[in-house]
Amino acid sequence: MRRRLSAALLVLLCAPIPQASADWFITPFLGTSFGADTTALIFEASGQKLTLGASVALIGPGLLGVELDVGHTPGFFQGDDPEGLVLTSRVTTVGGNVIIAAPLALTRESLRPYVVGGVGLIQARSQNAAGLFPVDQDLAGLTLGAGALGMVSERTGLRFDIRHIKAVAGAKGPFERPGASRVRFWRATAGVTIRY
């Protein structure tokens, strides 16, 4: 009898613990880009710029999740230019990221902090009045950041994060400064999250 009880206990202890399935989180966001720098000739990526976009993430109850993130910053190269030389400009980012989040066993449904990192594409475009040295680059990019996700109901929540986005490879443009990134900036956003 004791052997059977011990064997049953051992089976129960070694059996996998059932976990809730991973959830999809869709987050349209709004925020600002700041601390920008670029090697593009005569352009100044200064000041804060409106950024909008969306994220689709699959996050499990444990540590790991994955995310597809798209961000768009119009006017990225239009700084304090009294001459108004830059007619239009934008930077669009598309990234695939890994999320490492605090496990639900610790946070339950309260604020869930996370770190995020990954690679993707930075698309930089700009046209100026003189028609010289337009920016038309597709660059490999790197994203690193952190944030928090908190649910306010079963299906909706809020998500806040800050990320550093930097071009790490791509075709060189004219007159690039040695050691400077072709495009880099910080992005702070907040959004309403819908959970499926």
Residue 67 maps to a domain: yes
Two tokens, residue 176: 């690039």
CB burial of residue 90 (10 Å; 0-12, 13-18, 19+): middle
Which residues form the domain of 45? 20-195
Residue 76's pLDDT is what?
Answer: 87
- Considering the domain boundaries, does residue 8 fall inside one? no
For residue 36, being part of any structural domain is answered with: yes
In order, the DSSP letters of 89-151 are EEEEEEEEEEEEE--HHHHTTS-EEEEEEEEEEEEEEEEETT--S-EEEEEEEEEEEEEEEEE
pLDDT at 135: 76
What is the reported pLDDT for 10?
A: 43
Tell me which amino acid residue 184 is. R
- The verdict on residue 9 lying in a domain is no
Q: What does the pLDDT look like over 38-80, one tens digit per residue?
A: 776 555 666 789 999 999 999 999 999 999 999 999 988 876 6
Position 99 scores a pLDDT of 98
Do 167 and 141 form a contact (C-beta atoms < 8 A)?
yes
Chain position carrying tokens 């007619």: 87
Residue-level pLDDT at 169 = 73
What is the chain's length?
196
Domain count of the chain?
A: 1
Q: Could you say which residues of the chain have pLDDT below 50?
A: 1-2, 5-6, 8-19, 179
Question: For position 174, what pLDDT does the model report?
Answer: 53
Q: What is the pLDDT of residue 4?
A: 52
Q: Is 1 helix (H, G, I), strand (E, B) or coil?
A: coil
- Does residue 12 fall inside a structural domain? no
Report pLDDT for 17.
37
Residue 3: inside a domain, yes or no? no
CA–CA separation, 120 vs 167, rounded Å? 9
Q: Which two tokens stand for residue 61?
A: 């109850």
Tokens of 16: 């996998």
Which phi and psi (to 5°) does residue 7 adopt?
A: -65, -40
C-alpha distance across the termini of the chain, in Å: 47
* Alpha-carbon distance values, 184 to 41, 111, 145 (Å): 15, 29, 13
**Whether the Cβ atoms of residue 141 and residue 168 lie closer than 8 Å to each other:** yes
pLDDT in the model for residue 26: 98
Residue with tokens 């299906």: 155
**How deeply is 16 buried, as exposed, middle or buried, from its count of CB atoms within 10 A (0-12, 13-18, 19+)?**
exposed
Structural domain includes residue 152:
yes
In a domain, 169, yes or no: yes
CATH number at residue 84: 2.40.160.20
